[in-house]
Structure 1
Amino acid sequence: MHQLDTSDASMPFPILIGDIGGTNARFAIIETADAEQVNFPNVRTADFETIDDAIRATILEKSAVKPRSAILAVAGPISDDEIPLTNCDWVVRPRTMIENLGLEDVLVVNDFEAQALAISDLAPEHRERLGNPDAHEDMVASRVVLGPGTGLGVGGLVHARGAWIPVPGEGGHVDLGPRSKRDLEIFPHVETIEGRVSAEQILSGRGIVNLYRAICAADGIAPRYSDPADITSHALAESDPVAVETISLFSTYLGRVAGDMAMIFMARGGVFLSGGISQKILGALRKPEFRAGFEDKAPHTALLSTIPTYVVTHPLAALSGLSSYARRPDTFGVSTDGRRWGR
């Protein structure tokens, strides 16, 4: 087994594609470049000791089509033959997968590269615009995707030399600081990591709980909820004022970080919010707070007002991005150096 010559981007079909998050893993098989994608039921990462066990039990033992290669999107940096995931205990070992699962070829990319690939060609029915309906989407300008979920993922997408080039990173770990008077009351109570508040400490599932508890502490009241789903459901039903403020501020802070990323990438092609949380709180994101936080970037407010923002509503967006790449790898500038293994 060896690192493959990556001058040929194509991979042998059938191809297994997988989106491996902190909580859930989603898989599909593409039998040929023109075949319909076959999706498998979601896998909870906590239910299997290793990714190999999950693939064997949920796909190889149940599918008549046996994959020859795999493209996996993982939550975490890819730097060696052993790839630990950021928010779960799985470690991806491509060489072991080739040995034990009958694969010939394995490519591992960052999960938000897959999300970025998805927004290169996202149908209108799979996205909902937030805010300014007159903001112009430049079809070949840079784009950004942010996904609050188990963590906060960020990815860029740049168009150059006729190809879409995904830009992975760890943008969810940028600093997030207080701005308003209310922020200054709340932020001293936000749980820190080694003294700092990263965006992910607020803009994620656990971040919703962190923010809710910080608001309770600032106001001197006992928290009632410890599950982000409870907080969001009460916020959307407007049945608990602290939950309502939590999701309102969450929307504001998400808007601020999204605006920061839009400026970093000069994302005139749009900023896209992916992931389960964005879809679940769509009702809150439609309100003015998100877009106000996004545009509040003096002296560049006018610029931000021209950039469109969307919620990705596709139920399997990352798999859609991987599928596009698997079928037409030459139309994307995906770097495979050091991330592709073969027999």
Structure 2
Amino acid sequence: MPTLPDTDSGLTFPILIGDIGGTNARFALLIDAFAEPKLFPIIPTTNYASIEEALQTSILDRTSVQPRSAIIAVAGPVKGDDIPLTNAGWVIKPRDMLTALSLEDVIIINDFEAQALAIAAIGEEGREQIGPGSVLDSASCAVLGPGTGLGVAGLVHAQHTWFPVPGEGGHVDVGPRSERDYQIWPFLEPIEGRISAEQLLCGRGITNIYRAVCESEGRDPALADPADVTTHALAGTDGLAVETVSLFSTYLGRVAGDMAMIFMARGGVFLAGGISQKILPALKKPEFRQAFEDKAPHSALLKTIPTFVVTHPTAALSGLAAYARTPSRFGVATEGRRWRT
């Protein structure tokens, strides 16, 4: 468990906070511990060669208030001085950020660590419940986010402190269970001999499932974009798209149930990210909760665990802001993840 010196950030305001995913980067500036974050326009990561270029041209050149510190959440494991994003081209180099952006202090954490922090920061107005179950106060939580990839994190409460637990849970193995699964599984392309959750439960995963459904029926895929698949599915205008989103909901329910058991998440399981918000009507149908609860011999336990879709538009930034304001509430380990001038 992190010790107090490892978890007390002591960052100097103004603080730049950022959430960098595989496709987009979101940033805000926190002037002091009492101010609301000043949000900046979303930055597509492919539009810039580096985070330094993106921040300088799109943010720092456009504000008179310059940050002295930064805490950035990135989509990938944080290890060493060069931090490549799992599903994007940027390599985050905190030492370069210190020099190029005139910062004094930089902390880099995992993006789903930030999503976990958000669970402790947002209220009921920032989430929508799916199905039964009640939150057990101060109990552990789990967060999953299908997006460019599949992010997974836990949030554990101990000694009056919330400890986010980052990881790469989106890369766990998944396998067929139902008769329909066995029909479409041969048409899914494995990576080094296996199918991981992320190959099904992300944007490209929607396309992967759709193509497998089409091929299993001897049909040519008519939709090439995951947004098209979900749009036709929700409108009911394409039967194969409808089945795709139904299967997506089922597989997401299975993995969410697995994470609920791993973390004993009686504080709730939270689905973050834009895909979960878009397909919320589909997730409210029986498939998601049925798959979530179908965990014999612990189905009765799973029925008591609530599930939510996070509807807060900038949840990760909200979590980072909460940590920046009151770091003592959160057990965020900074050893090996903090760089100073």
- TM-score category by the smaller chain? over 0.9
Tell me the equivalent position of 1:37: 37
Tell me the equivalent position of 1:78: 78
Equivalent residue for 2:233, pick from 235, 240, 243: 235
Tell me the equivalent position of 1:13: 13
2:48 counterpart of 1:48: yes
Measured in 2, the distance between the counterparts of 1:320 and 1:191 equals 37
* Equivalent position amino acid for 1:227 in 2: D
Q: State the 1:37 CA deviation.
A: 0.9
Tell me the equivalent position of 2:210: 212
Tell me the equivalent position of 1:271: 269
Deviation readout 1:47-79 (Å, 9 max, x if unpaired)? 001010000011110011100000000000111
Q: State the 1:191 CA deviation.
A: 1.6
Deviation readout 1:76-130 (Å, 9 max, x if unpaired)? 0111000000000001000011011010000000000000000013211110000
Measured in 2, the distance between the counterparts of 1:221 and 1:7 equals 54
Give the length in aligned residue pairs.
337
Q: Secondary structure at the match of 2:220?
A: coil
Q: Give the TM-score taking structure 1 as reference length.
A: 0.97
Q: State the 1:9 CA deviation.
A: 2.0
Measured in 1, the distance between the counterparts of 2:173 and 2:15 equals 38
Q: Secondary structure at the match of 2:250?
A: helix
Q: State the 1:6 CA deviation.
A: 4.3
Q: Secondary structure at the match of 1:28?
A: strand
* Equivalent position amino acid for 2:88 in 1: C
Tell me the equivalent position of 1:287: 285
Tell me the equivalent position of 2:327: 329
Measured in 2, the distance between the counterparts of 1:265 and 1:8 equals 25
Tell me the equivalent position of 1:103: 103
Tell me the equivalent position of 1:120: 120
Measured in 1, the distance between the counterparts of 2:130 and 2:201 equals 18
Identity of aligned residues (%): 64
Measured in 1, the distance between the counterparts of 2:80 and 2:183 equals 43
Measured in 2, the distance between the counterparts of 1:302 and 1:122 equals 28
Task: From the superposition, tell whether residues 236 and 162 of structure 1 become closer, same or farther in structure 2 (CA, over 3 Å).
Answer: same
* Equivalent position amino acid for 1:275 in 2: G
Q: How does 1:59-74 map to 2 (within 5 A)?
A: 59-74=59-74
Measured in 2, the distance between the counterparts of 1:269 and 1:144 equals 8
Q: State the 1:192 CA deviation.
A: 1.2
Q: State the 1:8 CA deviation.
A: 4.1
Measured in 1, the distance between the counterparts of 2:204 and 2:130 equals 24
* Equivalent position amino acid for 1:72 in 2: I
Task: From the superposition, tell whether residues 311 and 8 of structure 1 become closer, same or farther in structure 2 (CA, over 3 Å).
Answer: closer
Q: State the 1:7 CA deviation.
A: 6.5
**Unaligned 5+ runs, structure 2:** none
Tell me the equivalent position of 1:183: 181
Tell me the equivalent position of 1:308: 306
2:157 counterpart of 1:169: no
**Unaligned 5+ runs, structure 1:** none
Q: State the 1:267 CA deviation.
A: 0.3
Q: Is the 8 A contact 2:113 2:153 kept in 1?
A: yes
Measured in 2, the distance between the counterparts of 1:7 and 1:215 equals 47
Deviation readout 1:253-292 (Å, 9 max, x if unpaired)? 0000000000000000000000010001011001010000
Tell me the equivalent position of 1:255: 253
* Equivalent position amino acid for 1:325 in 2: Y
2:151 counterpart of 1:149: no
* Equivalent position amino acid for 1:41 in 2: P
Q: Is the 8 A contact 2:7 2:328 kept in 1?
A: no
